[in-house]
Amino acid sequence: MPTLAELAEDTIVYLLPRPTFEQVDRGDLVYDAGLNQATVHRIRVGDVREAVAWARTETARRGLERIEWWAGWSATPADLGEQLRGCDLAPGEVSALTGMTCSQAPPAAPAEVAVERVTTVEDYLEAIQVDWEVWELSPGERERRRAVEVRRFAEIEASGVVHHFSALLDGRRIGFGRAIDMDGAVALMGGAVLPEARGRGVYRALVRARWDHSAARGTPFLVVQAGDLSAPILESLGFERHGEVRLYVDRL
């Protein structure tokens, strides 16, 4: 069984199998390919240039154009970041995440914030607009992703592994979050709140809804790799910090 720190450091490695994603464990790294990009985790490589070349070949073969290397605090070699930059990789738009876990129920959601599970593609396409708005995706990128999401939603929903949550304030969708099941926990993915709705407990409500999902399946434990904005909030809700994960981007 992985330790808490291992779950927090290399979360994607321990997710249950997800439709539209393919995972390859090379032993010295784990490569995860989706429909939009590929990511690399649990990095223990001896020859960084060989590993980068291999990942580029795998990614090009799948018709993808972007690879993210997620270098945790246990990644080797010690100068992995420097060597990746030497292979023409650049720090990610989000350059670092904090690996965190939670084993106690977060505070309850404010009464004025409603959170609902999203189970239809129509509601999902409406709900995920919040995420796209927060990340300031261009109209062209939104249209491209919309086509991808329509194609894969039914398969993902049927898997019972990936779950989507929408937060509403006065009937308006103002928050979005995703949860992905693990063997003994649930991973928080993609939490976003519109700027004008922040400071009203919306993010807390999304966290609590996903905790309730995790507890209902008999695994009351949350794992997250949090950005700079969400990490302090999560810590105030009872999450424990384990370390930092550095992100590097390879654009083919």
Q: Which of 67, 100, 50, 114 is nearest to 221 (CA)?
A: 100
CATH number attached to the domain at 113-220 = 3.40.630.30
CATH number attached to the domain at 4-97+246-251 = 3.40.630
pLDDT of residue 151: 85
Average pLDDT over residues 170-197: 95
Give CA torsion, residues 212, 214, 218, 222, to 10 deg.
-120
Give me the DSSP letters along 136-202: T--HHHHHHHHHHHHHHHHHHHHHTSEEEEEEEETTEEEEEEEEEEBSS-EEEEEEEE-GGGTTSSH
Taking the alpha carbons at both ends of the chain, their separation in whole angstroms is 35
Average per-residue pLDDT for the chain:
95
- Quick: pLDDT tens for 72-103: 999 999 999 999 999 999 999 999 999 999 99
| Numbered ranges of CATH 3.40.630.30 in the chain | 113-220
Contact 227, 188 (CB under 8 A): no
- Quick: pLDDT tens for 13-27: 999 999 999 999 999
Residue 71 has pLDDT above 90, yes or no: yes
Residue 135 has pLDDT above 90, yes or no: no
Rounded Cα distance, 229 and 231, in Å: 6
Q: Which residues does residue 166 pair with via DSSP β-bridges, in sequence order?
A: 116, 176
